[in-house]
């Protein structure tokens, strides 16, 4: 029955495309191109930057020296020959950055700028470049210079491609140590967070604890602040003048300890959410079976609970690991001398202007991030299958001892989370810690500090709104096209792939890649560099994947045949999109918007390379004020972000509720 060999010879029927088909494919290509231009091209630019090397090629330069009377009696000599004789430049000296210079006089040990000798210099090839003073010369024509001018001759390096930068990176312990630091800190933070969050999720799902709703909200609160905010709180608690400094028993909070505590804080909600879902879907029937077999609770935990939630645990592990290793804000604030990869990128680029090395660190950081991302995707795919197969949800029964332990545990975690936020708010309202503890609003006079002032706050809101509106539109429309277009399998496969990519790219890497790509004068898109537009584009792309997946999930729940019915009724697909798809998916659209808004408000890593004085952002202002020592105003601004996001979430909640009531008639039976 399955032999295709009997198919008569001839051509397969070629579909004629309808207008809608053409329209949908074109738009799909447009959005895919958007992703290519804002993600693939920049990453490519960054990758090629990491392989672009500079070195001095001494064989390219030739000199001739006259006698004291200015007569050139000796033969010209190559710089390489001179160096071979004298050995002034070692291998390391000949490696260079893009703006390296090598003074020519070093090759003439008896050089004196007062002598009456004349010097001639030329390149042996057209690529040879040297400077006389600040004037650039190239070419093979001889130039004759007096000794005073020759003093200012500097040779320039040639560019090439190769692993040179990587060699330098791995042979410089100060740099490559960060790999170990990053891996160790991320691993420990992951184990800590996943364990703690599992306990929290377990308590909420498997006990009759009171105030579950409140605990859930508290657990999600850290998502509303930039990752560097817990760092600031920790400085107030355990810093040099910290309230609880003694608790650390001489250890410094600046370093791994601070990063660890802060990482637990900011990754907690992510782990909690995943684990909570995993626990919620495990099957009650298994527990009943275990109960009826008189299995001890301890054994039930290890043989039923843990295996049931295994995909959740694995997924949470990789998500947290990815978050910690790619995070920039927290180690920047509290990392002290402890170097990690994400901060290294910043230091190389902003501190030392060494873009090639920044690109190298980015490539290194990309590896574990891509790896963690890939494993997470595989696991998630399995969990979805598990989810649909399961049925009966578990209903815990009251049990005094267990419920009390759960209450104590959750309260401790709750105090930790609220505590860190409260410290920031307290610090923001105090006049001058620790000398003048009276309350004031002085720290809110952002305009008096470096970092962008109140303008940056409003910029952030503007970025949040623009990202939410533009991002939701682009993401949802893109997801619609890829889900509902007919045929075009290759195009759709490609689209799905590029839509998943952004999640694997750390923010710092994306930001740096944008510099390389958009700050290139040869790029026609160069015009958006330094504007709000590039911040919006960057943020939309940065958070594309999760939004896309949310949209796809919502769209998959729509009847597959709506499009067929619409076509059979000779109605344009866009009418269906407008009148049915969007209204029915409105809750998902709102979810995507709030996700994008909150992330745009808190993100630091990608935009730190891209803001200009006019487009400074609140989250960046926190970073910069902290950098400048204005820690209290930094805390104040951080809390402004918190309140704004909290307000946005409440508005989102109210709108969603209102929507559900209004559409009650058709949503529920």
List interacting residues with other proteins (CB under 8 A): 1-4, 6-8, 10, 12-21, 486, 559, 561-562, 564-572, 575, 579-580, 583-584, 663, 665-669
Q: Of 240 and 664, which has the nearer Cβ to other proteins? A: 664
Give the separation between CA 43 and CA 517, rounded to whole angstroms: 8
Residue 582 Cβ vs other proteins, minimum distance, rounded to whole Å: 10
Q: Tell the smallest beta-carbon distance from residue 560 to other proteins (Å).
A: 8
Residue with tokens 């390219």: 60
For other proteins, which is the closer residue by CB, 12 or 246? 12
Strand order in the sheet with 61-65: 77-78, 61-65, 118-123, 143-146
By beta-carbon proximity to other proteins, the closer residue of 28 and 639 is 28
In 51-97, alpha helices (H): 79-86, 91-94
Closest contact distance (angstroms) between CB of 303 and other proteins is 39
Query: In whole angstroms, what separates CA 660 from the centre of its chain?
Result: 34
* Cβ contacts of 144 within 8 Å, gap of 6 or more: 118, 119, 120
Q: How far is the CB of 179 from other proteins (least distance, A)?
A: 45
Shortest spacing between CB 587 and other proteins, in angstroms: 12
Q: Of 1 and 385, which CB lies nearer to other proteins in the complex structure?
A: 1
C-alpha span between 417 and 222 (Å, rounded): 7
- Give the position of tokens 């202007």: 353
**Under a CB-based contact definition with an 8 Å cutoff, are residues 620 and 611 in contact?**
yes
Could you tell me the smallest distance in angstroms from the CB atom of residue 7 to other proteins? 6
Q: Of 235, 238, 258, give the one whose Cα is nearest residue 250.
A: 238
Please answer whether residues 62 and 140 qualify as being in contact, where contact means their C-beta atoms are separated by less than 8 angstroms: no
Which helix (H) or strand (E) covers residue 123, if one does?
A: strand 118-123
Q: Which is nearer to other proteins, 7 or 293 (CB)?
A: 7
Of the pair 48, 571, the CB lying nearest other proteins is at 571
Shortest CB 588 distance to other proteins, Å: 14
Q: Which residues are bridge partners to 130 per DSSP?
A: 137, 155
Report the alpha-carbon distance of residue 547 to residue 557 in Å, rounded.
16
* Token pair recorded at residue 90: 């070692």
Helix (H) or strand (E) holding 138: strand 135-138
**Nearest-approach distance from CB 594 to other proteins, in angstroms:** 22
Nearer to other proteins, 66 or 553 (CB): 553
Least Cβ distance, residue 575 to other proteins (angstroms): 8
- For 391-448, the three-class secondary structure string (H helix, E strand, C coil) is CCECCCCCCHHHHHHHHHHHHHHHHHHHHHHHHHHHHHHEEECCCEEEECCHHHCHHH
Give yes or no for a contact between 98 and 120, defined as CB atoms under 8 angstroms apart.
no
């Amino acid at each position: 029955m399955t032999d295709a060999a009997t198919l008569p010879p001839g051509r397969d029927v070629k579909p004629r495309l309808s207008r809608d088909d053409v329209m949908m494919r074109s738009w799909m290509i447009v959005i895919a191109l958007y992703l290519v231009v804002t993600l693939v091209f920049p990453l490519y630019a960054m990758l090629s930057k990491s392989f672009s090397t500079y070195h001095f090629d001494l064989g390219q330069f030739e000199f001739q020296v006259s006698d004291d009377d200015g007569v050139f009696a000796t033969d010209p000599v190559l710089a390489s020959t001179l160096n071979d004789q004298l050995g002034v430049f070692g291998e390391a000296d000949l490696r260079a950055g893009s703006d390296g210079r090598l003074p020519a006089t070093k090759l003439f040990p008896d050089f004196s700028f007062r002598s009456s000798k004349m010097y001639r210099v030329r390149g042996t090839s057209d690529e040879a470049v040297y400077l006389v003073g600040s004037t650039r010369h190239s070419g093979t024509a001889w130039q004759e210079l007096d000794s005073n001018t020759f003093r200012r001759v500097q040779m320039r390096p040639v560019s090439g491609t190769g692993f040179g930068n990587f060699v330098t990176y791995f042979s410089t312990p100060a740099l490559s140590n960060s790999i170990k630091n990053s891996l160790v800190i991320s691993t420990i933070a992951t184990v800590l967070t996943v364990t703690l969050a599992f306990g929290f999720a377990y308590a909420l799902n498997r006990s009759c604890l009171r105030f579950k709703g409140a605990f859930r909200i508290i657990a999600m609160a850290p998502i509303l602040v930039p990752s560097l905010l817990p760092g600031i709180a920790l400085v107030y608690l355990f810093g040099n003048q910290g309230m609880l400094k003694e608790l650390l028993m001489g250890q410094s909070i600046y370093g791994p300890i601070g990063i660890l505590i802060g990482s637990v804080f900011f990754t907690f909600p992510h782990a909690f959410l995943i684990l909570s879902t995993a626990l919620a879907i495990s099957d009650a029937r298994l527990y009943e079976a275990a109960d009826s077999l008189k299995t001890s609770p301890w054994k039930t935990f290890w043989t039923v609970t843990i295996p049931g939630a295994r995909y959740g645990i694995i997924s949470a592990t990789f998500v947290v690991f990815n978050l910690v290793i790619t995070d920039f804000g927290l180690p920047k604030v509290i990392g002290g001398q402890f170097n990690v990869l994400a901060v290294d990128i910043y230091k190389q680029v902003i501190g030392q202007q060494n873009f090639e090395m920044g690109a190298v660190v980015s490539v290194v950081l990309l590896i574990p991030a891509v790896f963690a991302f890939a494993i997470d995707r595989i696991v998630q795919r399995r969990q979805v299958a598990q989810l649909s197969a399961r049925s009966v949800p578990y209903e815990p029964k009251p049990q005094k001892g267990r419920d009390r332990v759960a209450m104590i545990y959750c309260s401790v975690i709750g105090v930790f989370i609220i505590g860190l936020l409260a410290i920031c708010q307290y610090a923001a309202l105090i006049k001058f810690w620790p000398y003048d503890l009276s309350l004031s609003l002085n720290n809110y006079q952002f305009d008096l500090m470096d970092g962008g002032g109140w303008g940056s706050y409003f910029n952030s809101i503007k970025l949040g709104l623009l990202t939410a509106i533009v991002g939701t539109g682009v993401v949802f429309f893109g997801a619609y096209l890829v889900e509902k277009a007919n045929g075009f399998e290759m195009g759709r496969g490609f689209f799905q792939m590029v839509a998943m990519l952004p999640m694997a790219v750390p923010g710092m890497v994306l930001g740096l890649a944008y510099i390389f790509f958009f700050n290139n004068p040869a790029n026609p898109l160069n015009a958006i560099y330094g504007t709000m537009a590039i911040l919006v584009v960057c943020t939309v792309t940065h958070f594309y994947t999760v939004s896309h997946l949310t949209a796809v999930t919502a769209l998959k729940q729509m009847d597959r045949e709506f499009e067929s019915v619409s076509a059979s009724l000779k109605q344009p697909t866009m009418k269906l999109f407008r009148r049915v798809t969007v209204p029915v998916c409105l809750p998902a659209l709102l979810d995507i918007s709030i996700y994008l808004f909150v992330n745009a408000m808190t993100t630091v890593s990608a935009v730190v390379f891209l803001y200009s004085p006019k487009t400074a952002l609140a989250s960046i202002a926190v970073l910069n004020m902290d950098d400048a020592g204005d820690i209290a105003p930094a805390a104040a601004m951080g809390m402004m972000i918190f309140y704004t996001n909290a307000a946005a979430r409440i508005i989102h909640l109210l709108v969603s509720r209102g929507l559900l009531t209004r559409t009650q008639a058709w949503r529920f039976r």
